[in-house]
Amino acid sequence: MFEKTQKKLQNIYLLFDLTKMKKKIPEDFSGVMSTQSRRVQKLVKKAYQIPFYRERFDAAGIRPEDIKTGDDLTKLPLLTKDELREWMNREQGNPKYSEWIIDTTSGSTGKPLSIIFSPREKAYMKANWFRVMMVAGYNPFRGKTMSRINAHDENAGGRDTFLQRFGILRRKYVDQYAPEEKVIDEINAYQPDWLYMNKTELMRLVLYSNKTGKKIFHPKFYDPISEKVDENNRKLFIKTLGEGIIDSYGSAETGACMVRLPGSDEYVVHNDSFVVNVLDDDNRPAQEGKLVITPLYKTDLPLINYSIGDKATCRVENGVRFITSVQGRMNDYFYYRSGEVTSFFEITPVIAHCADILQIRFIEETYDLIHVQIVRDDQAKMSREELEHYLEENLNRIFKKPFEFEFEWMDSIPPDKNGKLRMIVCNVEHN
């Protein structure tokens, strides 16, 4: 019954939560880190009352009072996607959660994952997204937002809400799967102050604009979400859409936990609402390793030490962690008969150091053959033949055995059904 009331009050909770969030990057992080520590302590006390987490605490020999700070969370085991999926599947049958909100991930890193939010948690997650906008300098209450259609978005049919009719929280949805010219026409007609959609979807429009000369309105801010934006992508986005690129980072499970603003070369964590750690293969704090996220607002069904599947590098200054780079989710590897693998992270420098490549996808067809889908900049310095030679030579220096390559030159690479673009697709059966 109480959850039904919370659902009705979500917008009020959203506004209340937003007033308490830090909406500027602080010069002095001491206050926000104190807030983080208090919320960490509150989180672990509540988590210990949940059987799933009590078992994990006890197995690690850790009590809630042993956890004082975000760094202390590394004493606890990681939460993997498979563990989370199994736990959430069990909980969905619990009548206690019948009025809660169930979101489903796109499945870009494997099987889709359903995640349960209390109405109160979902309101905080939404408020946190508004905070991302406000940190960048955008006012979501007076500005116009345009986004892709999402199955979880209310009012995606386009009818204005009561507030929107008065010019508050104005928002329009665009069909990201419509032809490029139609999507661009809708963007140009609406002229949004803030535009966001999956990176691959936005890249499709950018490539079309560059090929045909059709101009796209320059929003004050735009955010290519859900996928890693590499430096070549960033340059092309800026060339086509202007300087206002925002790189917010998070997931459907956690919400947006950090942001990289225009002109910056690193991500700042929303430390009042999240703990972001970087761990090595032995799960110890490191400058480079696995990205591990704990949303502090999610206390009803927590995600403690959630290993999201990405790698990152970081620096720590006065006890505050800044993420200097993120290597995005790539759900496949290059596999060898021996069982060894090569990750996208290992071949990234070959792609990143070649501005002539606008998009690329590798499809491992056999243990000996890689099919390469590739989009070349029309202003490229290298010819197609030179690019093929560059890739073959440099990639085979990294691979554990030489591959043969076949190239498919394209105007743009279509995204997968979930709207994202896997960089490596492995069609070889492997264990």
Q: Which amino acid type is present at position 193? A: D
- The pair of structure tokens assigned to 99 is 């009025």
Which tokens hold the place of 31?
A: 């206050």
Query: How is the beta sheet containing 144-148 ordered, strand by strand?
Result: 170-174, 144-148, 194-198, 221-225
For residue 106, the model assigns a pLDDT of: 54
Amino acid 69: pLDDT: 97
| Site of tokens 């995600």 | 303
| E runs forming strands in 175-218 | 194-198
pLDDT given at position 109: 46
For residue 122, the model assigns a pLDDT of: 93
Q: Are strands 255-260 and 288-295 parallel, antiparallel or unpaired?
A: unpaired
Contacts of 172 (CB under 8 A, 6+ apart): 144, 145, 146, 158, 186, 190, 192
Please identify which residue in the block is written with the tokens 């992270």: 345
Domains annotated for the chain, with CATH where assigned, are 2-138+220-271+294-304 (no CATH), 334-426 (3.30.300.30)
CA distance 317 to 314: 10
Which residues on adjacent β-strands are paired with residue 357?
A: 376
Q: What are the DSSP calls for 168-182, one per residue? A: SSEEEEE-TTS-HHH
Name the DSSP letter for residue 105: -
Helices 344-352 + 384-398 axis angle, to 10: 140
* Spatial contact of 416 and 386, defined as CB atoms under 8 Å apart: no
- 3-state class of 10 per DSSP? helix
Tokens of 245: 């690129």
Show pLDDT as tens, one digit a residue, over the chain (431 residues). Answer: 566 676 677 778 888 889 989 899 998 999 999 999 999 999 999 999 999 999 999 999 999 999 999 999 999 999 998 899 899 989 988 888 888 988 877 544 445 678 999 999 999 999 999 999 999 999 888 899 999 887 545 555 555 665 566 566 788 999 988 889 999 999 999 999 999 988 878 988 998 998 899 999 999 999 998 777 878 788 899 999 999 999 999 988 999 999 999 989 999 999 999 999 999 989 999 999 999 999 999 999 999 999 988 889 999 999 999 999 887 654 467 889 998 888 776 787 788 778 888 888 999 999 999 999 999 988 889 999 999 999 999 999 999 999 999 999 999 888 776 566 778 888 998 76
Amino acid 364 reads E
User: How many CB atoms within 10 Å of residue 5?
Assistant: 10
Geometric angle at alpha carbon 202, from 143 and 222, rounded to 5°: 30
Distance CA(354)–CA(395), nearest Å, equals 13
SS3 content of the chain, % helix, strand, coil (to 5): 35, 25, 40
First to last CA, the chain: 47
Sign of CA dihedral 28, 30, 31, 32: positive
Distance from C-alpha of 107 to C-alpha of 232, rounded to nearest angstrom: 26
Query: How many angstroms from the chain centroid is the CA of residue 153?
Result: 17
Tokens of 158: 């386009």
